[in-house]
Homo-oligomer: A and B are copies of this chain.
Amino acid sequence: MTKRIKLNFVEKNCPILDNPGLWTYPESEAHRHGDLSYWMELAVLLEQAKFDGIFLGDALGTFDTYKGGRDTAILEGISMPIHDPTYLIPAMASVTRHLGLAVTCSLTYDHPYALARKMSTLDHLTKGRIGWNIVTSNLDSAARNFGYDQQIEHDSRYDRGDEFLEVCYKLWEKSWEDGAVVRDIPNRMYTNPAKVHDIAHKGTYFQVPGIHLCEPSPQRTPVLFQAGSSHRGREFAAKHAECNFLNAVTVEETRYLIRDVRAKAEKYGREAGDILFFPRIVPVVGATDEEAQQKIDRYLQHLSTEGTLALLSSWTGIDLYGYTPERLYELIAGKSGGNGYITDYLRRAQQDKQWTMEELARLYAFGGLGNVIVGSPGRIADHMESFIQQTGADGFNLGYITRSESVTDFVHQVIPVLQRRGLVQSEYREGTYREKLFAHQAGLPRSHPGAQV
């Protein structure tokens, strides 16, 4: 039997999703990220199509590497303005009943006592549909505005992250016992105080002696998402993540990353099925392959090469302004820092052929390192099916090129094909987001470190 392909749709509370220039097409949609109506309509559409969830990205700073400043990013609307994504959740929850709602929150600039409360509150309000994409943030501009001279050093950010999660797990899993809240009117007991416990956490980064402020929510711990691609990031994902987002484009890389994280996860006593893997794809669909090709040609006319170089510069940590492809290659080859995955990818691409800067920009322009697939509904479904079979991935994070149009095309044209082939669900299973994804209980499995604090 073919395994079911799980689908999360990716969005961000800003003008465009990693596609510089595309805010100009279609012209009416980019700014709608500030309107509740956009998010509520989107949630309804995704639930009608039986998507597993929506995934909201975020950033807490400006993309200011290119030309040594933020002007290109601001001009192009690249992650700027970028509003708080967590406040989209309650409105989307109010018009849906099943759709999973995963949101990015950085643990670098928040306190675990406050973040644990946010997530518990949202898990109550959504009746158990919350996922948390754990990020440690990677923008210097964010660090500076939160009062640090520069961002906390990469590896110690993850050490702090480990302890941050330990505090959250204690608050979510151990502070309030099942059955603590009794609402026993004859005995006039709302909560049994004997079943509410101090977590007494004393660590390197945090001291949290007290109790959680929220009663246990349906899932207690939100479904945990992670997307780290560095070595330390994959280690972190192997320990904590239940869903892992991958930016790998090729079958080989995807397969490698999945095996690597699964192998690391074993060290922590976790089982093979405990982590689901979601590579990103960006479908461009037409009724026929020709129509799809015409569509992407139309999109390409809106593409901004400058904007793409600005995006790439921030991702790699290298100011690409004025660089030749050769200089870029030399720089990358001689550089050990930056984002390992992206720099590796660039290096390999450079070995295969002599890219121009424009071509490099185009390569990255669509889908934000996602795997862009162009074609008829049947072709896209074929690709998705074979990619899953070849890589062992569990589903996809679906990126888009144009707001509203891309997802509407996919829902109306590709979803019916996938459903007819039995590749995606046609009905929702009852239960929480975790139950829907894993078919086990609402809470964390026993093998997860959060269940062992």
Assess the B109–A111 pair: CB atoms within 8 A.
yes
> Which one of B70, B87, B109, B211 lies within 8 Å of A90 (CB-CB)?
B87
Assess the A125–B34 pair: CB atoms within 8 A.
yes
> Which one of B13, B21, B110 lies within 8 Å of A188 (CB-CB)?
B21
Stretch of A45-53, A139-147, A234-242, A438-446 lying at the B interface: A139-147
Assess the B81–A36 pair: CB atoms within 8 A.
no
Does A181 lie at the interface of the complex (its beta carbon under 8 Å from any beta carbon of B)?
A: yes
Give Cα distance in the complex from A390 to B141, angstroms: 53
Assess the A191–B80 pair: CB atoms within 8 A.
yes
Assess the A36–B87 pair: CB atoms within 8 A.
no
Assess the B183–A30 pair: CB atoms within 8 A.
yes
Assess the B87–A125 pair: CB atoms within 8 A.
yes
Assess the A146–B87 pair: CB atoms within 8 A.
no
A209 (CB) vs chain B CBs: closest residue: B144
> Which one of B24, B188, B210 lies within 8 Å of A144 (CB-CB)?
B210
> Which one of B24, B36, B109, B208 lies within 8 Å of A94 (CB-CB)?
B36
Which residues of the partner chain B approach A208 to less than 8 Å between Cβ atoms? 145, 147
Assess the B62–A210 pair: CB atoms within 8 A.
yes
Does A118 lie at the interface of the complex (its beta carbon under 8 Å from any beta carbon of B)?
A: yes
- What distance in Å separates the Cβ of A82 from its nearest Cβ neighbour in chain B? 5
Give Cα distance in the complex from A93 to B76, angstroms: 30
Give Cα distance in the complex from A97 to B121, angstroms: 24
> Which one of B31, B74, B111, B304 lies within 8 Å of A183 (CB-CB)?
B31
A34 (CB) vs chain B CBs: closest residue: B124
Assess the A84–B210 pair: CB atoms within 8 A.
no
Q: Contacts A91-B94, A109-B111 known; A145 to B210 CB distance under 8 Å?
A: yes
Q: Which has the most chain B C-beta neighbours within 10 Å: A31, A35, A125, A207?
A: A125
Which residues of the partner chain B approach A61 to less than 8 Å between Cβ atoms? 210, 213
Interface set, chain A 202-218, CB cutoff 8 A to B: 206-211, 213-215
Q: Contacts A113-B146, A114-B109, A193-B74 known; A213 to B124 CB distance under 8 Å?
A: no
Interface set, chain A 44-101, CB cutoff 8 A to B: 60-62, 70-71, 74-77, 80-84, 86-91, 93-95
Which residues of the partner chain B approach A35 to less than 8 Å between Cβ atoms? 125
Assess the B145–A196 pair: CB atoms within 8 A.
no
Which residues of the partner chain B approach A107 to less than 8 Å between Cβ atoms? none
Which residues of the partner chain B approach A374 to less than 8 Å between Cβ atoms? none
12 A-B pairs in the complex with CB atoms less than 8 angstroms apart: A21-B188, A31-B181, A36-B90, A36-B93, A62-B211, A75-B189, A82-B214, A83-B124, A84-B121, A89-B90, A109-B114, A188-B304
Q: Which 6 pairs from chain A and chain B are nearest by CB?
A: A77-B190, A71-B193, A84-B121, A81-B215, A83-B121, A34-B124
Q: Given A81-B176, A87-B121, output 17 extra A-B contacts at Cβ < 8 Å.
A: A13-B121, A30-B183, A34-B124, A36-B93, A75-B192, A82-B214, A83-B117, A83-B124, A83-B214, A89-B90, A90-B90, A91-B91, A91-B93, A113-B145, A113-B146, A144-B209, A145-B210
Using a CB–CB cutoff of 8 Å, the interface residues on chain A facing chain B are 13, 15, 21, 23-24, 27, 30-31, 34-36, 40, 60-62, 70-71, 74-77, 80-84, 86-91, 93-95, 109-111, 113-114, 117-118, 120-122, 124-125, 141, 144-147, 176, 181, 183, 185, 188-193, 196, 206-211, 213-215, 304
